[in-house]
């Protein structure tokens, strides 16, 4: 684990060539700030920034106001100041509409799995009638987007054939798009030919756990101007939990997205069609996941909306079991069916960090938590 030393001084002026610099706005309510700026044109504000610098294998963190950050950048050179200004602009600027969704407000993405083996049994659907019923319920409870997938990608899961994935999703998405849905449909797939089937049947969004790791996929979504969700995953579902390693997960993943977003833009993808997902639980252990969640605001300076999917994941079980055992209670496991409370706690944390989209199995409960939390603002 890295040692992130909190200090009064940085290693060097922000964004100079001898160090790597990362900005994390400190999210607050408007009344907590002194003439604060909106984060991403949304519902959270900031008047302080955690500035993290990496030099070789050492990290330091300094808390600054934006004006102090800018004045510190001027000390070095014009290039440092320009990079600082660009990062601050990315943090502040309002995100454009994403597939008809207003990104100045938080959104809920409901999950439906057309699979027999997804980790949460209640999310599994095998026929159109049950899918249609579930979608209508999710829409009425506040889901903006429904994410539909035909392949389980839980840790250790084997890849199914593309033919089988298509068989599972094709009839359902064909029939769904003929209905007058209030919500948008996202197709969760890592296969180009399945993406093409989805596009042909007018799905609104494509969600790829491999982060569009193939130029052919990027060319396809760019040419057809398809909104996409780009997730980070280390290795693949079969091996991703076999001793995953990072220098410092939030920064390593930030750097992955920085390069990926530039690659997408260079290949013609519109920035308004990009959402990023740090991929909680996909090639990350408990400590990596917690580091990402503690430092979520680092991703705002990438200038695109953020999605978080934590619903009923094993991180909740790990934390619960460890806590019970520390109290002398021999708790052995917590099934996915008993992880709702932890899911809601993490969802509200993400919303309070300014994250624009929450992916969840539990739309009504998540919406209710958001309503109650927002009533306090």
For 137-188, the pLDDT digits (tens) are 999 999 999 999 989 888 888 888 999 999 999 889 988 877 878 899 999 9
359 catalytic per annotation:
yes
Looking at the chain, how many residues does it have?
A: 377
DSSP three-state, residue 359? strand
Name the burial class of residue 274, with classes exposed (0-12), middle (13-18) and buried (19+) by CB atoms within 10 angstroms of its CB: buried
Q: How far apart are the first and last CA of the chain?
A: 36
The pLDDT assigned to 1 comes to 58
| Whether 77 contacts 16, CB under 8 Å | yes
Report the SS3 class of residue 37.
strand
195 Cβ partners below 8 Å, 6+ apart?
Answer: 187, 189, 206, 208, 217, 220, 221, 226
Give pLDDT, residue 116.
83
Q: What's phi and psi for 82, nearest 5 deg?
A: -65, -45
Residue 186: strand, helix, or coil: strand
User: For residues 345 and 95, is the Cβ–Cβ distance under 8 A?
Assistant: no
What is the structure's pLDDT at 127?
80
Helices 249-266 & 215-223, crossing angle to 10 degrees?
60
SS3 74: helix
Long-range contacts of 111-114 (CB under 8 A, 24+ apart): 111/146, 111/147, 111/311, 111/359, 111/360, 111/361, 112/146, 112/147, 112/148, 112/149, 113/148, 113/149, 113/152, 114/148, 114/149, 114/150, 114/168, 114/169, 114/172
Residue 57 is inside which H or E element, if any?
none
- Copy the structure tokens of residue 3: 């040692």
Q: Find the helix or strand (DSSP H, E) in which 91 lies.
A: helix 78-92
CA distances from 168 to 84, 157, 162, 297 (A): 48, 17, 10, 37
Among 44, 260, 313, 367, the one annotated catalytic: 313
CA distances from 334 to 24, 55, 242, 319, 369 (A): 33, 41, 21, 10, 22
Rounded to whole angstroms, how far apart are CA atoms 244 and 155? 12
Beta strand pairing status for 145-149 and 184-188?
parallel
CATH of domain 107-374: 3.20.20.20
Confirm if 158 and 199 have CB atoms less than 8 A apart: no
Q: Is the dihedral of CA 333, 339, 342, 346 positive or negative?
A: positive
Among residues 44, 50, 190, 359, which one is catalytic?
A: 359
Per-residue pLDDT of the chain (377 residues; tens, 9 = 90+): 566 767 778 999 999 988 999 999 999 999 999 899 999 999 999 999 999 999 998 999 999 999 999 999 988 778 899 999 999 999 999 999 999 999 999 999 999 999 887 888 778 787 888 888 999 999 999 999 999 998 988 888 888 899 999 999 988 998 887 787 889 999 999 999 999 999 999 999 999 999 999 999 999 999 999 999 999 999 888 888 998 999 999 999 999 999 999 999 999 999 999 999 999 999 999 999 999 999 999 999 999 999 999 999 999 999 999 999 999 999 989 999 999 999 999 999 999 999 999 999 999 999 999 999 989 87
- Domain boundaries defined on the chain: 4-92, 107-374
CB half-sphere exposure, 334, CA atoms < 13 A: 22
- Tokens 């890849």 appear where? 159
């Amino acid at each position: 684990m890295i040692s992130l030393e909190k200090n009064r001084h940085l290693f060097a002026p922000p964004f100079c060539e001898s160090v790597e610099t990362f900005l994390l706005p400190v999210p607050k309510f408007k009344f907590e700030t002194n003439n604060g700026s909106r984060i991403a044109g949304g519902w959270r504000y900031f008047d302080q920034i955690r500035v993290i610098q990496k030099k070789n294998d050492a990290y330091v963190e300094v808390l600054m106001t934006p004006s102090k950050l800018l004045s510190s950048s001027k000390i070095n050179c014009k290039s440092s100041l320009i990079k600082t200004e660009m990062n601050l602009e990315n943090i502040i600027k309002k995100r454009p509409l994403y597939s008809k969704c207003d990104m100045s407000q938080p959104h809920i993405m409901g999950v439906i799995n057309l699979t027999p083996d997804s980790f949460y049994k209640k999310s599994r659907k095998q026929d159109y009638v049950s899918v249609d019923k579930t979608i209508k319920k999710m829409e009425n409870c506040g889901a903006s987007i429904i994410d539909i997938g035909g392949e389980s990608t839980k840790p250790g899961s084997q890849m199914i054939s593309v033919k089988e994935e298509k068989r599972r999703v094709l009839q359902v998405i064909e029939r769904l798009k003929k209905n007058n849905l209030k919500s948008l449909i996202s197709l969760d797939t890592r296969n180009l030919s399945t993406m093409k089937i989805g596009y042909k049947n007018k799905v609104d969004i494509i969600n790829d756990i491999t982060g569009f790791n193939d130029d052919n996929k990027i060319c396809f979504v760019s040419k057809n101007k398809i909104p996409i969700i780009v997730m980070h995953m280390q290795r693949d579902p079969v091996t991703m939990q076999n001793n995953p390693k990072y220098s410092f997960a939030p920064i390593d993943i930030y750097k992955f997205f920085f390069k990926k977003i530039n690659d997408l833009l260079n290949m013609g993808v519109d920035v308004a069609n990009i959402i990023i997902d740090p991929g909680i639980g996909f090639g990350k252990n408990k400590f990596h996941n917690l580091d990402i969640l503690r430092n979520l605001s680092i991703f705002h300076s990438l200038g695109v909306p953020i999605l978080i999917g934590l619903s009923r994941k094993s991180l909740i079980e790990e934390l619960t079991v460890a806590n019970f055992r520390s109290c002398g209670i021999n708790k052995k496991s917590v099934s996915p069916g008993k992880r709702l409370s932890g899911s809601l706690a993490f969802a509200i944390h993400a919303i309070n960090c300014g994250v624009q989209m929450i992916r969840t199995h539990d739309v009504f409960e998540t919406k209710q938590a958001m309503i109650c939390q927002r009533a306090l603002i």
